[in-house]
Amino acid sequence: MEGDHADAVLEYIGANVHRLRVRSGLSQEALAKATGISTGFLQRVERGKTNLGVVILVRLADALGVAPGVLMRRATLPEATVGRPRRSRAKRESSV
């Protein structure tokens, strides 16, 4: 029973990190570098599939410009998609 609640909180953290990262216009690579973690670890955090310590939680919150508690608010993970994300319109137009 305890694991279910902990798993839910990890999913909330992942959903909030993902939402705030996208809203900030940061790539996973950029956020990982800013927090001193690997991109793979950040990907697992965003999917709610790994436990993270307080230090990493605080670093993520600082990099995203929010209080650490904001990352633990109830939120839903976005649907997972297969493949690479589409390039933004601005990037497509600037490369032409």
What is the tens place of the pLDDT at every residue in 38-93?
999 999 999 999 999 999 999 999 999 999 999 999 998 777 777 776 676 655 55
**CA-CA distance, 15 to 73, in Å (whole number)?**
9
**CA-CA distance, 96 to 92, in Å (whole number)?**
7
The pTM assigned to this predicted structure is 0.80
**CA-CA distance, 5 to 29, in Å (whole number)?**
29
Question: 31: which residues sit within 8 A by CB, 6+ positions away?
Answer: 17, 21, 42, 60, 63, 64
**CA-CA distance, 69 to 81, in Å (whole number)?**
28
